[in-house]
C-alpha cells in the first residue's frame, strides 16, 4: 500500500494529503454503477455489492418523477460518497448521467481533482464519453482510464488505445496489459509494478492475490499462462513499450496523459489496481482559484464553495442541501462561517457527509471533502464560505441556455406560487428563469429538451402547480457588461428583448444570431457573454 505523504507539498497536513476527490465519467452502460459498487466494497463502505443499485432503485421508485428518471435511464439526484481505501480517504462525487445536464456536470467537475473515465472494451470511446472528456479538458483535470468488460469479446488492445489517443487527443500509457479477451480473458500484466493479476471467475467479489514475477521471461509465467497467450502477451508488451509513451506522472497531472487499466468491474477485476492508481496519481487536493487570491488547501483557515444545490431531497422536509467542496483548512461541526455573498455569519450545525449513500452528521471535514449543508435557500451555487476573509471562488459558470420556452400555470391564480417554484429551481441550477420586462409569465431556459419535462413534473409534484410550457420567439440569452450608461441605453431601446434572471441581472433575449451582431455593432463598449460567473455580488 502506498504512503499518502506528498513530497512536493511538504506543508500539506497528512489528513489532507491522504484525500482523493474524483468523479467517474462514462457513457451510459459502460459500467459506472458497477465500478462504484466495487469501490465501495473495497472501501468497506458497504458489505455486499449490489447495495448501491438496490438503494438507488428504492429511492427512484418513490415518485412518478423518479420513475421517469428511471425509465429514461437518467440520474438527476447526484451525491457524493466518502470511503477509506487503505491509508487514503476517497471522495467520489457522482456526475449526472445524462447529456442534457451538461451544465450540472460541468459544475460537479469543478469540485473534483481528478476523473476516472470508464469505457466499454467492446465499444471504445462513445459520444457521452467524448463530451464529458471535453469538459474535463476545459479544466485540465487529470484523467485515469478504466477499460471495462474485458470478460466479454472486446476490441484489440492497441486499437482501443489508438482510438482514445486519436479521438480525445491525449497520450495513453498502459498501466496494465490484458491477457486474452472474452472467454479467454485471464487477467492482466501490471506494467507499472511488473506483477501478474489473474481473475477469479469463481467468485465475483473476490480479489485474487497478485503474483510477483521477475519480468516477462520469468519461468513461473509458463505455469500460469497458456503458451499461446503468453507468446502474444510478450509480443504485445514489447510492442507497447516501443510504441506507446511510458508513464509520466507530471503529464498525467497536467491532463495530457491518461494511464489505462483493463479489467472487469462485475468480476471485481482490475478495480484494486485502478484504486491504487487513483491513490498514486489522484492527486491530493489542489489549490482553488478565487478572487482576490487563490486558496491553498494547507491554509489553517477554513474555506469552501457551493457547487451544487439539491432541493427536496427528502420529500417530508422542504429543505435544500448545498453541496460544499472544502477548499482549505479543517472544518469542525458547529463552526461559524461567513457567507461571503451576504456578508452574514452562518453556524454550520448539522452538516452531512454521504457515506455510501446514507447521510451522516459530519463532525469534521478537511480540504478536499464534500459536505452537505441543509439550508432554507441562503446558499446558492457559486457561493463561498470562509472564516471571515472576503474570498470568492471563481470558475463556476452559468451557461446561456440553448432552449427557451415560456411557462404559465394552467390556473392563473397560482402565478405567484409558480414564481416561487421557478426561482427555487433557478437557484438550484436546474434551469434559467427570466422574467421578461414586458408582458407576464416567465421564460425558462435549459440546455436539453428533456429538462422541460423534468421541470414540469417537479413543479406539479413538489408544488402542486400544473403548468404549460409554450413556444417563445426567443432562442437564447446573453448577459452584458460594460459602462452603466450604455447598459441603460440598451435596456431602454430594446425593452421587448430584455429579461431579468433570478439575481435580478438583465439579459438580452435573442431570436437570431443577427440580434447579437446588431447589439455588438451598436454598443461596441458592451461585452455580451454566454456565461455568467456565479459568485454573486
Which residue numbers belong to the known binding site? 26-33, 94-98, 148-151
Residue 105 or residue 424: which is nearer to ligand G4P going by CB? 105
User: Min. distance of Cβ 25 from ligand G4P in angstroms?
Assistant: 10
User: Min. distance of Cβ 447 from ligand G4P in angstroms?
Assistant: 21
Could you give the 3-state DSSP secondary structure of residue 314? coil
* Residue 58 half-sphere exposure toward CB, CA atoms < 13 A: 7
Angle between helices 157-168 and 227-243 (to 10 degrees): 30
Whose grid coordinates read 500509457?
Answer: 173
User: Min. distance of Cβ 474 from ligand G4P in angstroms?
Assistant: 35
- SS3 letters across 45-90: CCCCCCHHHHHHHHHHCCCHHHHHHHHCCCCCCCCEEEEEECCEEE
Angle between helices 32-42 and 271-281 (to 10 degrees): 80
Q: How far apart are CA 22 and CA 39, in angstroms?
A: 12
Quickly count: other Cβ atoms within 10 Å of residue 438's Cβ: 9
Neighbouring residues of 113: CB distance < 8 A, sequence distance ≥ 6 = 20, 21, 22, 141, 142, 282, 283, 284, 285, 286, 368
Could you give the 3-state DSSP secondary structure of residue 386? strand
> Would you state the cell numbers that stand for residue 395, as one nine-digit string?
470558475
User: Min. distance of Cβ 422 from ligand G4P in angstroms?
Assistant: 31
User: Min. distance of Cβ 96 from ligand G4P in angstroms?
Assistant: 12
CB 409 within 8 A of CB 418: yes
Backbone angles phi, psi at 250, to 5 degrees: -65, -40
Residue 103 or residue 151: which is nearer to ligand G4P going by CB? 151
DSSP classification of residue 292:
S
- Binding residues for GTP are 26-33, 94-98, 148-151
User: Min. distance of Cβ 392 from ligand G4P in angstroms?
Assistant: 35
CA angle 396, 524, 507 (to 5 degrees): 45
Whose grid coordinates read 404559465?
Answer: 408
Dihedral of CA atoms 2, 6, 38, 253 in degrees, nearest 10, equals: -120
Quickly count: other Cβ atoms within 10 Å of residue 396's Cβ: 22
Q: How far apart are CA 97 and CA 25, in angstroms?
A: 8
CB 118 within 8 A of CB 30: yes
Q: Measure Cα distances from 192 to 4, 188, 249, 273, 277 in Å.
A: 18, 11, 12, 10, 10
Residue 34 or residue 157: which is nearer to ligand G4P going by CB? 34
Residue 122 or residue 461: which is nearer to ligand G4P going by CB? 122
Quickly count: other Cβ atoms within 10 Å of residue 529's Cβ: 13
Q: Measure Cα distances from 287 to 182, 304, 325, 425, 471 in Å.
A: 43, 11, 12, 30, 44
What are the residues binding ligand G4P (CB under 6 A)? 26, 28-34, 148-149, 151-152, 264-267
CB 32 within 8 A of CB 118: yes
> Would you state the cell numbers that stand for residue 370, as one nine-digit string?
464534500
Select from 219, 202, 198, 223 the least CA-distant residue to 210.
Answer: 198
User: Min. distance of Cβ 486 from ligand G4P in angstroms?
Assistant: 49
Residue 146 or residue 305: which is nearer to ligand G4P going by CB? 146
Q: How far apart are CA 65 and CA 68, in angstroms?
A: 5
Amino acid at each position: 500500500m502506498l504512503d499518502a505523504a506528498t513530497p512536493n507539498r511538504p506543508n500539506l497536513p497528512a489528513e489532507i494529503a491522504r484525500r482523493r476527490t474524483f468523479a467517474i465519467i462514462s457513457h451510459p452502460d459502460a459500467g459506472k454503477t458497477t465500478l462504484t459498487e466495487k469501490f465501495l466494497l473495497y472501501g468497506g463502505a458497504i458489505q455486499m455489492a449490489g447495495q448501491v443499485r438496490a438503494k438507488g432503485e428504492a429511492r427512484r421508485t418513490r415518485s412518478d418523477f423518479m420513475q421517469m428518471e428511471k425509465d429514461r435511464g437518467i440520474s438527476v439526484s447526484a451525491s457524493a460518497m466518502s470511503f477509506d481505501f487503505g491509508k487514503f480517504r476517497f471522495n467520489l462525487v457522482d456526475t449526472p448521467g445524462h447529456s442534457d445536464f451538461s451544465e450540472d456536470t460541468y459544475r460537479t467537475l469543478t469540485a473534483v481533482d481528478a476523473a476516472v473515465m470508464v469505457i466499454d472494451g467492446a465499444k471504445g470511446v462513445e459520444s457521452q464519453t467524448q463530451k464529458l472528456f471535453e469538459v474535463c479538458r476545459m479544466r485540465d483535470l487529470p484523467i485515469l482510464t478504466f477499460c471495462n468488460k474485458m470478460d466479454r469479446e472486446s476490441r484489440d488492445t492497441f486499437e482501443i488505445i489508438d482510438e482514445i489517443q486519436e479521438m480525445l487527443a491525449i497520450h495513453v500509457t498502459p498501466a496494465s496489459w490484458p491477457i486474452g479477451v472474452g472467454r479467454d480473458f485471464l487477467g492482466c500484466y501490471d506494467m507499472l509494478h511488473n506483477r501478474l493479476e489473474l481473475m477469479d471467475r469463481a467468485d465475483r467479489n473476490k480479489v485474487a492475490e497478485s503474483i510477483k514475477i521477475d519480468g516477462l521471461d520469468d519461468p513461473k509465467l509458463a505455469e500460469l499462462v497458456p503458451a499461446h497467450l503468453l507468446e502474444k502477451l510478450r509480443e504485445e508488451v514489447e510492442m507497447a513499450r516501443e510504441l506507446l509513451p511510458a508513464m509520466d506522472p507530471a503529464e498525467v497531472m497536467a491532463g495530457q496523459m491518461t494511464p489505462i487499466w483493463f479489467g472487469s468491474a462485475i468480476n471485481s477485476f482490475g478495480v484494486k489496481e485502478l484504486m491504487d492508481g487513483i491513490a498514486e496519481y489522484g492527486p491530493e487536493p489542489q489549490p482553488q482559484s478565487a478572487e482576490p487570491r487563490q486558496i491553498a488547501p494547507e491554509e489553517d483557515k477554513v474555506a469552501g464553495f457551493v457547487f451544487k444545490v439539491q432541493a427536496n431531497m427528502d420529500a417530508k422536509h422542504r429543505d435544500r442541501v448545498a453541496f460544499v467542496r472544502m477548499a482549505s483548512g479543517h472544518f469542525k461541526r458547529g463552526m461559524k462561517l461567513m457567507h461571503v455573498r451576504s456578508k452574514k455569519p452562518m453556524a454550520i450545525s448539522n452538516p452531512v457527509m454521504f457515506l455510501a449513500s446514507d447521510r451522516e452528521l459530519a463532525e469534521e471535514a478537511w480540504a478536499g471533502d464534500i459536505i452537505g449543508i441543509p439550508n432554507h435557500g441562503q446558499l446558492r451555487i457559486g457561493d463561498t464560505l470562509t472564516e471571515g476573509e472576503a474570498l470568492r471562488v471563481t470558475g463556476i459558470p452559468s451557461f446561456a441556455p440553448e432552449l427557451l420556452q415560456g411557462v404559465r400555470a394552467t390556473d392563473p391564480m397560482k402565478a405567484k406560487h409558480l414564481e416561487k417554484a421557478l426561482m427555487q429551481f433557478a437557484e438550484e441550477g436546474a434551469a434559467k428563469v427570466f422574467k421578461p420586462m414586458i408582458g407576464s409569465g416567465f421564460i425558462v431556459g435549459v440546455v436539453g429538451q428533456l429538462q422541460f419535462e423534468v421541470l414540469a413534473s417537479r413543479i406539479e409534484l413538489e408544488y402542486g402547480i400544473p403548468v404549460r410550457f409554450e413556444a417563445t420567439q426567443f432562442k437564447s440569452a446573453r448577459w452584458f457588461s460594460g459602462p452603466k450608461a450604455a447598459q441603460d441605453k440598451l435596456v431602454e431601446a430594446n425593452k421587448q428583448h430584455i429579461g431579468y434572471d433570478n439575481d435580478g441581472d438583465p439579459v438580452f433575449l435573442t431570436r437570431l444570431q443577427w440580434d447579437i451582431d446588431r447589439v455588438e455593432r451598436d454598443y461596441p463598449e458592451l461585452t455580451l457573454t454566454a456565461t455568467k460567473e456565479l459568485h454573486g455580488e
